[in-house]
């Protein structure tokens, strides 16, 4: 048996300029993914969308091309699926999966909750629906703000300040994603821009507006959820082949999953309500006690949020960033496909 492993999938925004060519590199190092690559491309062709080879193989990265909602969704889902299918599962025994935001779709696809072609269709459709969903003629915006210091320990004053704004404008701004040591806030454009101006600057980077992001995981997405429930039925879903931990911390197990409830959560609840990625990670590590945590690509942006969530839970005795660095140096247990050296160890030679 291999290492007990928790697999975590990244969300929207994980395919950026440095990731251009990521999928081509997967194919070069893992021949077992070629059939899956063709299935994904065929599904995209049926939707009259560019194939992964066209997008990932472009000569230059273009925010307009690669950042378009449907294109970003296909690249992120495609990269995650291909990474997962290239994983050496003799060395890494996957005991559970979770993901951040759109990463929930990738987790469903990897676990068999969706077949690859259905996963592509639903993920790209949801990307388009949520990107255009409006309230009062406003698609809304997202903003991210750190709640931890350089040592990855909570700064209570920052958390209190965010909560004050949320309490002051309860129908206009919302917790969108609880993302480790970061708060992701969604809401109407006016209030998000107000927060961007009024929150104290940190590291000359934050508060950071998430370009191209609507007010995901908030009531702004109600129209998208309603349309999705009309378009996709429980027959589009299957029982997952391994446990999934969702954005509320609920565990969906192979033996106890009702596909209609899984459909309602996926197309409605997690679309219009906060996605608590921190809780998902904390539940997963406590319930399944993994020896390794594996981050699928594209990119490697999940790492800090995952460790920050673990620090907050006190798992593995971690209390700060330095604790993690020490453990990782002595016995690396957080492994990312987005890290070239680590990906070589993760991939099967098939």
pLDDT tens profile 73-125: 999 999 999 999 999 999 999 999 999 999 999 999 999 999 999 999 999 99
User: 147, 155 in Cβ contact below 8 A?
Assistant: yes
Q: Are residues 49 and 113 in the same domain?
A: yes
Looking at the fold, whether 230 and 301 belong to one and the same domain comes out as yes
On whether both 169 and 194 belong to a single domain, the answer is yes
Domain hosting 248: range is: 3-133+221-268+278-346
Residues 236 and 290 in one domain: yes
Residue 119 lies in a domain: yes
Boundary (domain end) residue, out of 213, 234, 258: 213
Domain CATH code at residue 157 = 3.30.70
| 339 shares its domain with 234 | yes
Question: Do 81 and 147 share a domain, yes or no?
Answer: no
> What is the C-alpha separation between 116 and 96, in angstroms, rounded?
19
- 188 domain residue, yes or no: yes
Q: Is 26 part of any domain?
A: yes
Other CB atoms within a 10 A radius of the CB of residue 233 amount to 12
Q: Are residues 288 and 186 in the same domain?
A: no
The rounded percent of the chain whose pLDDT value lies above 70 is 99
pTM attached to this predicted model: 0.96
**Could you give the CA distance from residue 314 to residue 319 in angstroms, rounded to a whole number?**
6
Q: Is residue 27 part of a domain?
A: yes
- Is there a domain that residue 273 lies in? no
340 part of a folded domain? yes
Strand blocks (E) in 59-150: 92-99, 141-146
Confidence of residue 33 (pLDDT cuts 50, 70, 90): confident
Q: In terms of domains, do 25 and 171 share one?
A: no
Tell me: do 158 and 227 sit in the same domain: no
What average pLDDT score do residues 127-153 get? 95
Q: Are 73 and 24 in contact (CB under 8 A)?
A: no
Q: Is the four-CA dihedral 284, 150, 336, 117 of positive or negative sign?
A: positive
- How many folded domains does the chain comprise? 2
* pLDDT value at residue 212: 86
Judge contact between 23 and 78, C-beta under 8 A: yes
Alpha-carbon Rg for the chain in angstroms: 19
Task: Please report which confidence band the pLDDT of residue 53 belongs to, taking 50, 70 and 90 as the band edges.
Answer: very high
Q: What are 211-221's pLDDT values in tens digits?
A: 889 999 999 99
30 part of a folded domain: yes
Comparing 31-35, 93-97, 117-121, 342-346, the range with the smallest average pLDDT is 31-35
Is residue 115 located within the same domain as residue 149? no
CB neighbours of 230 closer than 8 A, spacing ≥ 6? Answer: none
* Domain membership flag for residue 82: yes
Is pLDDT of 288 > 70? Answer: yes
**For the domain that residue 316 is a member of, what is the CATH number?**
3.40.366.10
- pLDDT of 1 reads 73
How many angstroms separate the CA atoms of 270 and 267, rounded?
7
C-beta of residue 113 within 8 angstroms of C-beta of residue 53: no
Q: Give yes or no: residues 203 and 83 share one domain.
A: no
| Arithmetic mean of pLDDT over the chain | 95
Q: Are 243 and 181 in contact (CB under 8 A)?
A: no
């Amino acid at each position: 048996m291999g290492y007990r492993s928790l697999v975590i999938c990244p969300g929207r925004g994980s395919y950026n300029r440095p990731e251009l060519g990521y999928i081509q590199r997967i194919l070069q190092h893992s021949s077992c993914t070629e059939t899956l690559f063709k299935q994904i491309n065929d599904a995209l062709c049926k939707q009259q969308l560019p194939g992964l080879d066209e997008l990932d193989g472009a000569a230059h990265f273009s925010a307009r091309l690669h950042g378009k909602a449907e294109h970003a969704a296909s690249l992120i889902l495609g990269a995650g699926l291909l990474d997962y299918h290239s994983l050496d599962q003799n060395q890494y025994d996957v005991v559970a999966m979770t993901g951040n935001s759109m990463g929930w779709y990738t987790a469903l696809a990897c676990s068999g909750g969706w077949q690859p072609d259905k996963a592509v269709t639903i993920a790209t459709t949801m990307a388009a629906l949520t990107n255009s969903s409006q309230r009062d003629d406003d698609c809304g915006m997202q903003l991210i703000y750190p709640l931890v210091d350089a040592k990855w320990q909570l700064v209570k004053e920052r958390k209190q300040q965010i909560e004050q704004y949320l309490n002051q404008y309860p129908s206009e701004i919302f917790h969108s994603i609880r993302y480790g040591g970061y708060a992701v806030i969604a809401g109407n454009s006016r209030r998000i821009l107000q927060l961007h101006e009024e929150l104290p600057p940190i590291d000359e980077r934050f508060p950071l507006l998430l370009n191209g992001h609507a007010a995901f995981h908030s009531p702004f997405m109600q129209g998208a959820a309603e349309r999705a429930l009309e378009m996709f039925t429980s027959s589009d879903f299957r029982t997952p082949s391994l446990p999934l931990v969702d954005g509320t911390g609920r565990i969906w197990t192979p033996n106890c999953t009702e596909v209609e409830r899984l459909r309602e959560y996926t197309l409605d609840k997690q679309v219009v309500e906060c996605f608590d990625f921190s809780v998902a990670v904390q539940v997963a590590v406590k319930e399944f006690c993994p020896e390794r945590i594996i981050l699928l690509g594209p990119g490697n942006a999940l790492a800090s949020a995952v460790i920050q969530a673990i620090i907050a839970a006190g798992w593995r005795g971690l209390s700060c960033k330095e604790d993690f660095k020490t453990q990782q140096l002595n016995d690396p247990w957080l492994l990312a496909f987005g890290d070239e050296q680590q990906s070589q160890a993760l991939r099967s030679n098939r």
